[in-house]
Each structure stands twice: as C-alpha cells, then as structure tokens.
Amino acid sequence: MEIDKDSTAWRAICSMNGEVSLKEIVDVLEGLGVPPRHTQDYIEAIKREGIGKPSEDDDGDIIYNMYGEFDPDVVSREGDYSCNKCGQSLKNGYFLRFDKSEDGPYGPECVRKIGIARL
C-alpha cells in the first residue's frame, strides 16, 4: 500500500521524537484509524524514509529512535512542576499551546504522547 503523506497518521509518525516502542507506534496508528493490516506498511515506510531507526531494548522489544520534529506549539519553562499525566516531578515543564490557553505542565515523554493524540 502507498502511504498517504498528507494523512494525519503519517504526520503523527513524522512528529515523533526520541525512543518510541513499536507497540506505541502501532497504537497511535490504530488510534488514528489505520487498519491493523496496514500498520506494517507504515513501519516499513519509517525505515525506508529514514524517519526512525529500529533497535532492541534490554527485554528484546523493538524500539524506534525517531528523528521527527517536536510539535512547534510546545513550549517549555523551568520551574518546580509535576507532570499532569503521570505525576513525575519536573525541573522543566512542557506545555501545549493553543490560541488562548495552555495545557500542562507535562514531562517530555507525556507531552509528546498527548500532542500526538491531539493532532
């Protein structure tokens, strides 16, 4: 199958940055309406297009090192924060920025997942 490069699913993939598990990628794709039989096409495209590089973690699970760009509407500020999602304490809080409001603070991992979920 040809990947539609303008699709929300592909843009979500291209916005991923850092280590992302294969399961997490598949979850995001399926959450954005990609049928399970097509997720492998996206995984192949990640490798082919150089969006990410697969490796194995200590447990033998496949993780991808993703080179995508962070959502430009994320800002970070120093301070004593705790993540709104997982409660982890933070020295750097990340906020998703909207027209008139902000959502946060989140840690770097959580803001990425939440940002992807909002695309």
d(CA 26, CA 15): 15
- Contacting residue, 83, 96, 114, 116, with Zn ion by CB under 5 A: 83
| 9 interacts with Zn ion by CB under 5 A | no
| 86 interacts with Zn ion by CB under 5 A | yes
Residue range at the interface with Zn ion (CB under 5 A); choices 26-34, 43-51, 93-101, 104-112: 104-112
Residue 87 has which token pair?
Answer: 């409660």
- Contacting residue, 13, 29, 110, 116, with Zn ion by CB under 5 A: 110
| 115 interacts with Zn ion by CB under 5 A | no
Identify the H or E element spanning 82: strand 74-82
Residue 12 has which token pair?
Answer: 């979500």
Which ranges of the chain does DSSP label H, i.e. alpha helix? 8-14, 22-31, 36-48, 108-118
DSSP 89: E
| 85 interacts with Zn ion by CB under 5 A | yes
- Judged by CB, which is closer to Zn ion: 21, or 88? 88
Return residues touching Zn ion (CB under 5 A): 83, 85-86, 88, 107, 110
